[in-house]
Structure 1
Amino acid sequence: MVEHGTRLHRESLAVVMALACLAPSGGNALAQSGQFEQLSVYIERNVQDRDAEIRFEVTGASEGLTALTVSGPGERKVVDVKTPDSKLGIRKLTIESPEPADDRIVKADFPAGAYRFEGSTGKGARLRGEARLSHDFPEPAAFEHPRSGQKDVPATDLTLRWSVPKGIESCVIVIEQNGSPYEIRALVPASTKTFAVPKGFLRAGQAYTLAIGTVAKDGNRSFIETDFTTARER
Structure 2
Amino acid sequence: MFARATVVSALVLVAGGLAGRAEAQPAATAAFPVATVHLERNATDSDYEVVFEVTGAQDGLAELTVLGPDRRTVVAFKAPDSSTLGIRGFRFESPEPSDIKAVKSAYPEGIYEFSGRTSKGAKFAGKSTLSHRVAATPTLVKPATPTATLSVRDLTLAWSPVEGVAAYSVGIKHEESNVNLTAMLPASSTSFAVPDGFLTPGKKYKLAIGAVTREGNITFVETTFTTEK
TM-score by length of 2: 0.83
Cα deviation 1:93-141 (Å, max 9, x = unaligned): 1111121233332222111111111111223233222211111111222
Cα deviation 1:135-186 (Å, max 9, x = unaligned): 1111222212122234332222111112322321221111123533222211
Residue number in structure 1 paired with 2:75: 79
Q: For 1:65, give the aligned amino acid.
A: L
User: How far 1:210 sits from its partner (Å)?
Assistant: 1.3
Q: Conserved in 2, the CA contact under 8 Å of 1:164 and 1:214?
A: no
The answer to which of 60-69 and 70-79 deviates more is 60-69
Residue number in structure 2 paired with 1:174: 171
Gaps of 5+ in 1: 2-7, 12-17
The answer to which of 47-56 and 142-151 deviates more is 142-151
The percent of aligned pairs where both chains have the same amino acid is 42
From 14, 23, 47, give the equivalent of 1:51.
Answer: 47
2:229 aligned with 1:228:
no
Q: What is the RMSD computed on CA atoms of the aligned residues? A: 2.4
CA gap of 1:152–1:66, structure 2 versus 1, over 3 A, is closer
2:32 aligned with 1:36:
yes
Taking the aligned partners of 1:172 and 1:184, their CA distance within structure 2 comes to: 11
CA gap of 1:209–1:110, structure 2 versus 1, over 3 A, is same
Residue number in structure 2 paired with 1:21: 7
Gaps of 5+ in 2: 16-26
TM-score by length of 1: 0.82
User: How far 1:71 sits from its partner (Å)?
Assistant: 0.9
Q: Which has the higher helix share?
A: 1
Taking the aligned partners of 1:61 and 1:183, their CA distance within structure 2 comes to: 26
Taking the aligned partners of 1:210 and 1:123, their CA distance within structure 2 comes to: 42
Q: For 2:179, give the aligned amino acid.
A: Y
Whichever of the two has the greater Rg, that structure is: 2
Number of paired residues?
A: 217
CA gap of 1:146–1:39, structure 2 versus 1, over 3 A, is same
User: How far 1:27 sits from its partner (Å)?
Assistant: 5.6
Q: Conserved in 1, the CA contact under 8 Å of 2:8 and 2:34?
A: no
CA gap of 1:28–1:61, structure 2 versus 1, over 3 A, is farther
Q: Conserved in 2, the CA contact under 8 Å of 1:55 and 1:96?
A: yes
Residue number in structure 1 paired with 2:205: 208
